[in-house]
Each structure stands twice: as structure tokens, then as C-alpha cells.
Structure 1
């Protein structure tokens, strides 16, 4: 013999399940997705020493309820980021995306129109998802020639103006005069430099969090 619950009990149980589901959804902290390369992946350092990990600590200290997801990979190019971003957006549903890619394109001397196209595709995908976007620019060492290095750096500002983005012109601003802030390879910042990198990003990022 089957036991049937009274209809009003069924409604009460259903209502409780809906409330529980809403509470669980509300408990998920808004997310910041960082999509970068080795400069954001704490290359050569403990993960907790990198600027992205320091960002999480600063958010907590300043009562911003964001969870930082660091999807940065050493060696990543804009082509790789373009391939990975759609699934990252679908999985994490970030409120803010920090796009800090392109350095490896430049170091490999890749075609700048392809780099621009990849960055623009990621910008459009992030904006279409409803996320607020922060674009982080890069510069190349002078040995790549003035024409290429100038065009490389200029494409970031051009994209930021075209798409009206929050923009950090150079992730490593102020580090060039501090050779002691670089690891032995001369490319990757030391742990001592990471707070300075965060201080470069923070003034542009903070308004997107409010």
C-alpha cells in the first residue's frame, strides 16, 4: 500500500526545497577570473606569493566578497586563452574578468593582427557573458625592434578605447628600474615585486568591484 502525503505537506516541502536552493545559490561568492600567462601564474614562486593570490588577501582584508579564480598558465598565448575562455566563463560565471595575455605572442614575434583578433574575441566573449572586463597591457624588451614593440604595446590601448574597457597599460609598470625585482631569467618578477604589481592593477580594478 502506498502512502500519499497530504497536498499541503507536498507544497510545504517544495517551498522548503526552493528556499534551500536559493540560499545555496546566494552563498556562492561573486568571482574574479584572471586569465594570464606566467606573469600572473606566479612562475618560479610559491603560488601564495603571486600577485593574484595577494589580490585575494586584499579583497578579504577590505571586505570585498569576491573569490579569485586564477586561470593563468605559464607560456599561454592569446590563441590558447581564446580557446579556453568560453568554458571558463560557462563554468565559473565570473562577475569580473582580468585579461592579461599577449606577452608570449610578442616574445615569439607572432603576427600582431592575430594577437589583436584573439584579444578582441576574448573581450567580446567576456562582455557577452555579462562580466565586467579589465584589460592589462604589456610591453616588450627593446631588442625586438622599435616598430614591432611600439605596435605591440599600442594595440592594447586601441582595444581599450574601442571597447571602452577598464585598462592597465603595463602590468610591470615601474619594475624596469629594479633589476633586483627580477628572477635570474630577467623576465619574471620576484616575490618582492608582487605587491607592486598588485598596486598597479588595484586602482583600476577596485571601481569594477563596487
Structure 2
């Protein structure tokens, strides 16, 4: 069984074992949120769960992140996830792999927009976690890539974290040897970057 299939099977098992709740937060992401290269307990999503518990929020976080996933993959997976989890909030952290593969930004925008619409139609709020790509892809593609998140958030009037890896990307000691995935030391920074938008949603 491939690594992707193992990850997908693990996510499905967890979902089937978990009752749906109006307090659920569904996180649909890729390796950044799947804690690639780390123990899952070290990842920023686990730290989010801990912070919610510490602040007495009753919300359960369902991490449906799959390493290597693209926006197309997330869109394909989302309907079943929404049906199973019935989340109050969907946090979307996808696009990085589209960018690393230099996939068309128009397709990426369509996929993310469709994901937001699906979540909204399922009565869930949405937070979009933005990404950026290395400068070696050229300013034209890099700018178009970054603009996708801004445009999708504006189109649907949803909260946007402009760059989840702000203060982490390219910083020595905070990125793994591949230069793509954050280290364990960076995970609390990722949480701090995402937390203001999540906290604002919690106040609603």
C-alpha cells in the first residue's frame, strides 16, 4: 500500500470512529498540516487541539490532511468529509503542492473556490490558509499563485491567513532539510499565524 493510501485509510478510520458534532472543526490540508517528517503529536494541528482544550473550547479538530495532496485532491475528498464530519468550521490548507508542481493557477483557484462553496452549502464557516512558493518559479507565477488565495477569500468573503509559513519559510532551523517542510520548532509559529483567525471565529 502506498504512503498516500495509508494516510487516506488512517484518516477514514478516524472519521468513522468519531461521532459528528456541531462543534467539529475540519482541517483539510497537505503535508504541512499532516506533520510530514515529524510525529503527529508535534504538528501545529495537535498544538491547536491543545490550545482549544486549554482555553475550554469544546470543539473537536478532525485533521483530514494528506501529504502530497493538491487542491484537486482536496476538492474530490471534501464532499464525503463534510457528510461524515458535519463541521461548524472548515480550515483549508491546500495549494502548496499545486505550486510546487507549477500547476495552472486558474485551476487551483477554481478548486479552492469550489471547496469554499461546498463548505458554505454545508452550513460551515471557512478559514483559508494561504501559501507562497519559492522565488525560483519566477515572479509572474509566484505573484499569480499568491493572488489566488486573496481572490478566493474576497470572492466568498472568508477569513484569510495570507501566509501560514510567515516567519518560518527560509529560516534556518525552522525548515527541514528539504527546504519545504517546517521543523518541530516551527510548529508553534504556524499555530500563532493561524490562531487569530480561528480565535475570531470562536468569538462568533
Mark yes or no: TM-score above 0.5.
Answer: yes
Which structure: larger Rg? Answer: 1
The one of 4, 23, 42 equivalent to 1:49 is 42
Equivalent pair of 1:29/1:67 in contact (CA under 8 Å): no
Structure 1, unaligned runs of 5 or more: 1-24
Partners in 2 of 1:160 and 1:179 — Cα distance?
Answer: 31
For this pair of structures, how many residues does the alignment match?
185
Alignment-derived partner of residue 160 in structure 2? 167
Superposition pairs for residues 37-186 of structure 1, below 5 Å?
37-176=30-169, 178-186=171-179
What TM-score, normalized by structure 1, do the two folds share?
A: 0.86
Alignment-derived partner of residue 8 in structure 2? none
The structural deviation recorded for 1:64 is 0.5
Superposition pairs for residues 16-55 of structure 1, below 5 Å?
28=21, 30-55=23-48
The structural deviation recorded for 1:177 is 5.2
Deviations 1:138-190 (A, max 9, x none): 10000001100000001101111111111100010111352211111111000
Partners in 2 of 1:28 and 1:185 — Cα distance?
Answer: 38
Deviations 1:57-95 (A, max 9, x none): 000000110000000000000000000000000000000
Q: Please state whether the residue corresponding to 2:28 is helix, strand or coil.
A: strand
Partners in 1 of 2:196 and 2:96 — Cα distance?
Answer: 22
Equivalent pair of 1:29/1:65 in contact (CA under 8 Å): no
The one of 187, 197, 203 equivalent to 1:194 is 187
Structure 1: 4+ residue segments shifted above 2 A: none
The structural deviation recorded for 1:28 is 4.4
Q: Please state whether the residue corresponding to 2:173 is helix, strand or coil.
A: helix
Aligned residues: CA RMSD: 1.3
What TM-score, normalized by structure 2, do the two folds share?
A: 0.88
Partners in 1 of 2:170 and 2:106 — Cα distance?
Answer: 31
Partners in 1 of 2:144 and 2:189 — Cα distance?
Answer: 26
